[in-house]
């Protein structure tokens, strides 16, 4: 920030305070920093933020502070490997003994050997025979990404509407919507 001759006007903690007396199982925090001035090299600054983010494992979001930013009150999340630490289709495939085949098809799609919809149809076809109660169990057993519950509670407390947009399965999206208090879910 200093390299770009910007001044820090304020630093606000958006999450609640972390107790110094009790050990924390997930000591995550969200901080908003307001700066003033015009960056000398905005591209270089964004690149540096990306490097810092990758080195430290923290997320950095840079926004121009204007009327359009202040009025935003919707945050949307992806589901697989974002809110949850898994790919639902892989977990379902494991139930029917098709985990390796689903992985093989996914890898072929990632290499560009087939398009997404073709690979998705092939992977879903391998899930034949899954029972309704197994779907509910998979939803309940999916591991949340560390901090997902904290960030959603914090955003809700700040008045944001939350949504899930996913190319995944509706039953898992609905489960997460209810569990985490989301307002919208489209899968």
Residue 78 CA to its chain's centroid (Å): 5
Angstrom distance (rounded) from CA 170 to CA 176: 10
Q: Which two tokens stand for residue 112?
A: 């560009």
Q: Which of 9, 65, 78, 183 is catalytic?
A: 78
φ/ψ of residue 139, rounded to 5: -60, -45
Number of H helices, E strands in the chain: 8, 5
Q: How far apart are CA 118 and CA 114, in angstroms?
A: 6
Q: Annotated catalytic, 80? A: yes
Closest CA to 168 of 107, 65, 103, 89: 89
Active-site residue identified among 80, 103, 141, 149 = 80
122 φ/ψ angles, rounded to the nearest 5 degrees? -65, -40
Q: Which helix (H) or strand (E) holds 125?
A: helix 116-125
**Which residues are tagged catalytic?**
78, 80
């Amino acid at each position: 920030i200093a390299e770009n001759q910007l001044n820090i006007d304020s630093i606000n903690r958006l999450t609640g305070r972390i107790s110094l007396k009790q050990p924390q199982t997930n000591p995550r925090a969200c901080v908003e920093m307001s700066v003033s001035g015009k960056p000398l090299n905005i591209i270089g600054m964004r690149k540096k933020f990306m490097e810092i983010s990758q080195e430290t494992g923290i997320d950095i979001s840079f926004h121009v502070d204007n009327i359009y930013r202040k009025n935003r009150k919707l945050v949307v999340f992806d589901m697989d490997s974002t809110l949850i630490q898994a790919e639902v289709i892989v977990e379902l495939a494991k139930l029917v003994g098709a985990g390796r085949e689903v992985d093989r098809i996914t890898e072929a799609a990632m290499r560009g050997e087939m398009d997404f919809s073709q690979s998705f149809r092939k992977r879903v076809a391998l899930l034949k025979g899954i029972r309704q109660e197994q779907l509910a169990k998979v939803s309940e057993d999916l591991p949340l990404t560390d901090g997902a519950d904290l960030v959603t509670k914090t955003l809700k407390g700040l008045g944001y509407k939350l949504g899930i947009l996913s190319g995944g399965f509706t039953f898992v999206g609905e489960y997460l919507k209810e569990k985490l208090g989301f307002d919208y879910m489209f899968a």
